[in-house]
Amino acid sequence: QVQLQESGGGSVQSGGSLKLSCAASGYTYNIYSWGWFRQAPGKEREGVAAVHSGGSSTYYADSVKGRFTVSQDNINKKLYLQMNNLRPEDTAMYYCAAGGAMDAGTELVGDAYSFWGQGIQVTVSS
């Protein structure tokens, strides 16, 4: 089992920055893919960013490309999401997720992940 705990959320004005962290514990040796997802009220869950262990490959939703950066620290079992130039439409509950190897093209698909954190709120005001 893998446990995930997010931190770093909060409220910020439009154009501001936040950095989310996700600490993993438990048996993480089979984890190959790490992702960030978000869900706003009344909307479906959206894949935001993903990275393979060791940072060999990264994936981003079009809506965050150039503004968000995902990174992963294998030694300390941590996942990060640096969010710059935040917009009100980025307001959502953010979740980190972990999973094994997955089919190409599914890195931002929530169903491909086995383990999830409880989520943390990010609010961006205009």
Is the Cα dihedral 33, 89, 123, 17 positive or negative? positive
DSSP 33-59: EEEEEEE-TTS--EEEEEEEGGGS-EE
Q: Do residues 115 and 4 lie in contact, with contact meaning Cβ atoms separated by under 8 Å?
A: yes
What integer pLDDT is reported at residue 108 of this predicted model? 96
What integer pLDDT is reported at residue 103 of this predicted model? 86
Cα–Cα distance for residue pair 84/22, rounded to 1 Å: 18
- Going from the first residue of the chain to its last (126 residues), give the mean pLDDT of each consecutive group of 10, the final group possibly shorter: 96 98 93 96 96 86 98 91 98 96 91 97 97
Residue 24 DSSP label: E
Cα–Cα distance for residue pair 34/49, rounded to 1 Å: 9
Q: Do residues 45 and 36 lie in contact, with contact meaning Cβ atoms separated by under 8 Å?
A: no
What integer pLDDT is reported at residue 101 of this predicted model? 87
What integer pLDDT is reported at residue 2 of this predicted model? 94
What integer pLDDT is reported at residue 74 of this predicted model? 84
Is the Cα dihedral 81, 25, 38, 110 positive or negative? positive
What integer pLDDT is reported at residue 99 of this predicted model? 93
